Each structure stands twice: as structure tokens, then as C-alpha cells.
A and B are shown apart, each in its own frame.
Chain A
């Protein structure tokens, strides 16, 4: 059975940057609804330890705040190929600007998950502070439904 990792990344102390963790916490509460081969992980602010985490899974869905110049609260799903072709103009994670390089390193190590998908949410405010902005908070239920659907497609 394939090992699937759903990893939330973000910093709860930087408002919308924590949206990946907030969504992950909701998923964790509902984890009995999902197949047993899915592991839900709070990846925190990532960094180099994310590299070691990625190595443990065949398939990974990362949930993260991503500045893709969309409307706050918009969600987009990227594959690794999309990110690489569009480079940093699309993938601007606030807490780890070298995220793409980290994935490159994971590829070099030949341990990058076979499938890697990023569920990115456009943040409005990533300044210091607790709690999500109103724009994100109001669409959080929709985001969660969208994410759930994504995971269902993902594990098919």
C-alpha cells in the first residue's frame, strides 16, 4: 500500500501564513474518514527537515500559503511540473523562499515522492500576529471542502 502524506506548512504566528496548519488541524480531527495509509503531518515552517519528511512518502499533498497573485482566499493546486515551469513568480512561500531548491535537492537524492501536489491558498496578510485575516476566515469552510475533494481525487 502506498504511503500518502498530507503535510500542512506555515507559521501560525504570521496570520494567513498559518492557513496550511489551520486546514491540516481540521483534517486531523476528521482523519477517521480517510483511508489508513494517509498520514496527516504538521510540517511547521518546513526548512531542511521537510526534505527528510518528503523522503518518507510515495505521494504527498502539501498545504501551504502561496502567493500566486490571486485574490485572497483563492486556492490553486499545483503539480511539481507546474511549479518548476513557472518558477518563483508563482511559488512564493513566505517562510521558505528556497522551497523550490529544496525540492530540487529531494530530486537529486532520488527520494522525492512519485506524486507531489501543492494545495496553495493565496494569503492576504502575512504580518506578525495570530489568527487568519477576515478574507481567509470567511472562505475557510469552502477551502476545507475543496481540499477534502482534492484528497479524495488524490487517493483514487
Chain B
């Protein structure tokens, strides 16, 4: 069947930031198909130049209202790497709790508020209040728990204040950790309930696959979030973390002038929960593996729509792994440690962490007085833009005979599956006039 139609989605809804989908079809042939990032540039890397080493974390936290803990941790790791600061065991444990809190916060928000409406066939979470009251209430409870956990560990729900260079400005008390432990234990049942509910509507997730490369941190000891080595499903491990640009090769495309795209071994790669699952599922807690089994999710899964399910798996893992670290902290006793003292010197530092949407890099160069002279941040959503584009190019021909509205919805669902944080991904552009 030959037909003419256009799908122009200006500002895809239920994602953070602004991105457009452009599809023009003439005589049944695709004339134009583009994923466009239309957000204004943010200039964060330029803002960091000239700032002192101890300001960098609080500035970069503001890159994102969702991943502020992740940005803070990557920033601290970069600064500590540059200044050769070694953190204590307790700090490493508490930072793991912080990253789990953010993972839970962000994932449940995406699953419950942004994707669930697609699966239930409604436009937003609000119509579900009347029809699926119990489900919405459970989602809200889990979201609240994650918020409270962030608040407890980081001093705020978003934009943490207790995460500082060399440690924590204030640590939670044992009593507070005991309370958090019981809240997390209670959340296990709620998580299973949500998994069961999502499973009951999972048929609405499009059955689509496209082979691609997946990149995430990996560790021999754990399901890597706070720390690990850059790993790829195509090329394996890349331990030289300061040479991350050999893996994350940024480039520019005309249709999205403010966002840098990235590629490595192929034309594109994917980061995020599905990438982590594909590379590290062996290290998941058994409870999380059970969630994966419920959905038949096995590595390597090439369906980007399953990213949401991988987030659900990670939510369960974050609860269990948090309980593990809390038990360990309680066993050894929480100490009131002062942050490690810093000796200012010139140097370059790179901090890499897994944040909800994927692998995040902060790279700073400091002068001898501790002022930042150069900064580079590679944001997860940046790294996914090229993959979204190529997914669309494979997906559209497969669904071209379907009604236009369905094509439009499927494309929107694809973008949402990546849980893009478009505002974070926009950078300033260096131009040279000839």
C-alpha cells in the first residue's frame, strides 16, 4: 500500500526536556525520519572553568533535577581523582546507598508515571487514579520511600548537600538506618506487586529488536553502579578509564545542533538499565533475577522497549543491595568520620558512575591553585541519541502499514523507553567560521 502521511511530534511528552520526531512518508516511502533534540544548550562545561575544585560538585548537581546524586558522585570522583583523595570504606558504602536511592527514585518515576500510561492505554498517570487506584498508590509509596532515602543519605531529596569531597558532611545515625531497613523490607512486597501488574500489561510493549552495542561499567565484585570498568558487549573491558574518549566518541549531527551524539564500535550504542543488565546480570540479587525471569528478560536482549523492564529489575536489586550495605554498616557501626583533608595540586581527574540513564563521565583539569581550567561531561542521554535514531530507522519500515496514530504512539513509546533526559544532554557548540 502506498500512502502519504507525516508524523510530526513536537516535544515528545512524558520525557524530561524537549525532543521532536519527524517522519514524512510519500507514496509509501520514507522521505524523512529524524529524532531531533531541540533543547537550548546549557553551557555547564564552560561554567566550570575558573571555578574552584570545591565548587564543582554543587554546580554540576544542577545539570539535572533527576540525576543530581549521580552528577554529584561523578563530579566528586573526578575531583578526588585529580587531587588523589582516597575515601574511607564507610564513605564508599554510603555512596552506594546514595546511588541506589537515586536509581530507585528515577526508575519508579519512569516506570510508574511515564511508561505505565502507555501500557494501560491512557495519556497520563492521572486517569489511572480512578481506574487503577491501588497500582498508583503503590507507585507513589515506592517513589516516596526512594525520596526519603535520598533525603536521609544525602540531606535532600534532590541536589544533595551531604556528599562532599573526601566523604560526608553528616552521616545517618544507626537508628535512622534501622528505620530505613524496615522500610526497604516492606517495599519488597510492593515491588513484586508492581512487577506483577506491569507483567499483566507487558504485551503492550512492542516486539522489536535491533542488534546494537551496549556500554556500561562492570565490576568483578558487584552489579556496577558506583564504580567499575568501562565494558562493551562488542569489545569487552576498557580499564584505562581516563581514556574514556576512545570508547565514547562524540560527534555532531545537523538535526540536533545543541546535543552531542556518541558512537563506538558501530554507528551507535545504548547505555542505561538494559545495557547494564546485558553486561552485568550475573551480579544481580536473586530477587531481581526473579523479576527478570518473570518477563523472560535474558542477556543479551536487543529490544530497547525492554529498558523499562530492566529498570524494574534494577529497582528490585537496589532494594536488596541497599539492605546488604545497611546491614554491613550496622554490623561495623556507623562512625562520625570527618571528610578526608584535601591537598590542592594541579592535575586531571576522571569520575565515572552509572546513573539511572546510563554511564556518566565527568573529567576535570585543575591548576596548581585548584581552579578548573577544563571540563568535559559525557551524559547518558547523549550517548543514546544515535541509537534512538537508528532504532527508528529500523522500526518504521516494520510498522509502516499500521494506522498513523499507532505509528506515532509507537515512536513516542520508543523515545520514552530510553527514559531520555534531554535537557542534560545539550551542550554548547564550538564553531569556527571560515
Interface residues of A (CB under 8 A from B): 48-49, 51-52, 55, 98, 101, 104-105, 108-109
Contact = CB atoms under 8 A, between A and B. Distances in A.
Given A108-B133, A108-B137, A48 B126 contact: no
Contact of A48 (B109, B133, B137): B109
Determine chain B's interface SS by DSSP, over half rule.
helix
B109 A108 contact: no
Interface stretch (B140-148, B227-235, B422-430): B140-148
Given A49-B157, A52-B157, A98-B124, 20 more contacts: A48-B109, A48-B113, A48-B143, A49-B147, A51-B140, A52-B147, A98-B126, A101-B126, A101-B129, A104-B126, A104-B129, A105-B126, A105-B129, A105-B136, A108-B129, A108-B133, A108-B136, A108-B137, A109-B137, A109-B140
Given A49-B157, A98-B126, A105 B140 contact: yes
The 7 A-B residue pairs with the shortest CB-CB distance in the complex, in nearest-first order: A101-B126, A52-B144, A105-B129, A108-B129, A52-B147, A98-B126, A108-B133
Contacts of A105: 126, 129, 136, 140
Contacts, number: 28
Listed residue (B140, B143, B144) with the most chain A CB atoms within 10 angstroms of its CB: B140
Contacts of B157: 49, 52
Range, interface on chain B: 10 to 19
Nearest to B143: A48
8 contacts: A48-B143, A52-B147, A55-B144, A101-B126, A104-B129, A108-B129, A108-B133, A108-B136
Interface in B129-174: 129, 133, 136-137, 140, 143-144, 147, 157
A55 B126 CA distance: 18
B183 to A, nearest CB: 14
A81 to B, nearest CB: 19
A98 B147 CA distance: 21
A88 B137 CA distance: 24
B330 to A, nearest CB: 26
Contacts of A49: 147, 157
Contacts of B124: 98, 101
